[in-house]
Amino acid sequence: MTKVLLVAEHDGAQLNLATAKALSCATQIGETDVVVFCDGANAVCDAAAKLSGAQRILKVSRSENAKPLAAVFAPQIAEMAADYTHILVPSTTFGKDIQPRVAALLGAPQVSDIMSVEGPRKFKRPIYAGNVIVTIDVPEAAKVVGTVRTASFKAADGGASAEVVNVSVDTDLPTHTRYIALEAHASERPDLQSANRVVSGGRGVGSAENFALIYSLADKIGAAAGASRAAVDAGYVPNDMQVGQTGKIIAPDLYIAVGISGAIQHLTGIKDAGTIVAINKDGEAPIFGVADLGLVGDLFAIVPELEKQLG
């Protein structure tokens, strides 16, 4: 029988929305338990218990689990895997760090970035920066170990009330890796990965100061702010704003790309967006090849005007 174990992502206080999205994938496969590795974190377990589709919430609370270290979580997940046919985790930097370690401990191949479930052991996933979609069959001999491309799934609804069960996993844990700090850049804006609207700026924006233009438009329409890699590399914005193959893969209802040329590595991050708007002074920019609405011109004139007219 198919039994799925989904590893929840959280920061100790809040359940990450990626978990609810990955749960939608998991429940398409079979009955799913959600495991929360934590030190306390009752609020996180309660939030997970509300997600519809989860059978049980397994709480593995021990001091070593206070921070997400792959070398610490992986042996515990591998130990719990005995009772499951499938182990899933969201394909976020959290999941990408942990899951291959689990796969190696289990001697199983890993399916990265599951974008659709074609059968209990059959999935589709993107390769070559999303330019090719390939169908994967996991042989019967192996456990299914995978990461879920969250932009491909809608978040599971709330309103349920699954049971929270305390589970102890007695595995020796390594001490060779120590968590020091997280430098999160505080932002009042919506979270890039779950926002319905995103305004992104590229190299064309020209400077960190000029990004005020992007933030201002974003705030006007309640959007998250994103960026191209070029804008991050140039130091205009922090790394956590990068959208694309090696940044965040997002699927907002509205994506406004400002001064972004539209390299394939960027486009792969926004393929599932509802409406894409491009503002670029170069009418030949590849971004116009995917944009639903394009406006050719100088962003420094267009963006303030757009903000004004949206008022």
Partner 1 sequence: MKIIVCIKRVIDYNVRVQINREGDGVVTDGVKMSVNPFDEIAVEEALRIRERGEAEEVIAVSVGTSQSQQQLRTALAMGADRAILIETDDDMQPLVVARVFQKLVEREKPGLVLMGKQAIDDDANQTGQMLAALWNRPQATSASKLELTGDSARATREVDAGLEVIEFDLPAVVTTDLRLNEPRFVKMPDIMKAKRKPMETIALSELSIDLPTQLAQSNYEPPPERQAGRIVDSVEELVAALREKGVV
Ligand X SMILES: Cc1cc2nc3c(=O)[nH]c(=O)nc-3n(C[C@H](O)[C@H](O)[C@H](O)COP(=O)(O)OP(=O)(O)OC[C@H]3O[C@@H](n4cnc5c(N)ncnc54)[C@H](O)[C@@H]3O)c2cc1C
Residue 47 has a CB neighbour count (10 Å cut-off) of 21
The entry of partner 1, ligand X, none near residue 92 (CB within 5 to 8 angstroms by kind) is partner 1
By CB under 8 A, tell whether 289 contacts partner 1.
yes
Stretch near partner 1 under the rule CB under 8 A, chosen from 21-29, 153-161, 170-178, 199-207: 170-178
By CB under 6 A, tell whether 151 contacts ligand X.
no
Q: What part of residues 22-81 is at the interface with ligand X (CB under 6 A)?
A: none
Stretch near ligand X under the rule CB under 6 A, chosen from 8-16, 76-84, 95-103, 260-268: 260-268
Among 242, 251, 252, 273, binds ligand X (CB under 6 A): 242
In angstroms, what CA-CA distances link 198 with 20, 103, 131, 137, 187? 20, 34, 23, 35, 14
Two tokens, residue 253? 């209802």
How far apart, in whole angstroms, are the C-alpha atoms of residue 85 and residue 119?
13
By CB under 8 A, tell whether 173 contacts partner 1.
no
The entry of partner 1, ligand X, none near residue 309 (CB within 5 to 8 angstroms by kind) is partner 1
The entry of partner 1, ligand X, none near residue 126 (CB within 5 to 8 angstroms by kind) is partner 1
Among 95, 126, 146, 202, binds ligand X (CB under 6 A): 202
The entry of ligand X, partner 1, none near residue 142 (CB within 5 to 8 angstroms by kind) is partner 1
How far apart, in whole angstroms, are the C-alpha atoms of residue 6 and residue 26?
7
Smaller CB separation from ligand X, 146 or 247:
247
Please list, in sequence order, all residues whose beta carbon lies within 8 angstroms of the beta carbon of residue 87, skipping any fewer than 6 positions away: 4, 5, 7, 77, 81, 99, 102, 106, 143, 144, 145, 146
Stretch near ligand X under the rule CB under 6 A, chosen from 16-24, 52-60, 98-106, 292-300: 292-300
Smaller CB separation from ligand X, 68 or 259:
259
By CB under 8 A, tell whether 172 contacts partner 1.
no
Positive or negative torsion for Cα 230, 151, 306, 261? positive
By CB under 8 A, tell whether 309 contacts partner 1.
yes
Stretch near partner 1 under the rule CB under 8 A, chosen from 49-57, 81-89, 124-132, 202-210: 124-132
Smaller CB separation from partner 1, 158 or 274:
274
How far apart, in whole angstroms, are the C-alpha atoms of residue 26 and residue 222?
31
Stretch near ligand X under the rule CB under 6 A, chosen from 13-21, 30-38, 130-138, 254-262: 254-262
Count of residues that bind partner 1 according to CB under 8 A: 88
Give the CA radius of gyration of the chain.
21
Among 15, 51, 195, 232, binds partner 1 (CB under 8 A): 232
Helix/strand/coil (H/E/C) assignment for every residue in 221-284 = CCCEEEECHHHHHCCCCCHHHEECCCCECCCCCEEEEECCCCCHHHHCCCCCCCEEEEEECCCC
By CB under 6 A, tell whether 230 contacts ligand X.
yes
Beta pairing class for 86-90 and 3-7: parallel
By CB under 8 A, tell whether 294 contacts partner 1.
yes
What phi and psi, each to the nearest 5 degrees, are found at residue 220? -60, -40
C-alpha angle 293-295-296 in degrees, rounded to nearest 5: 140
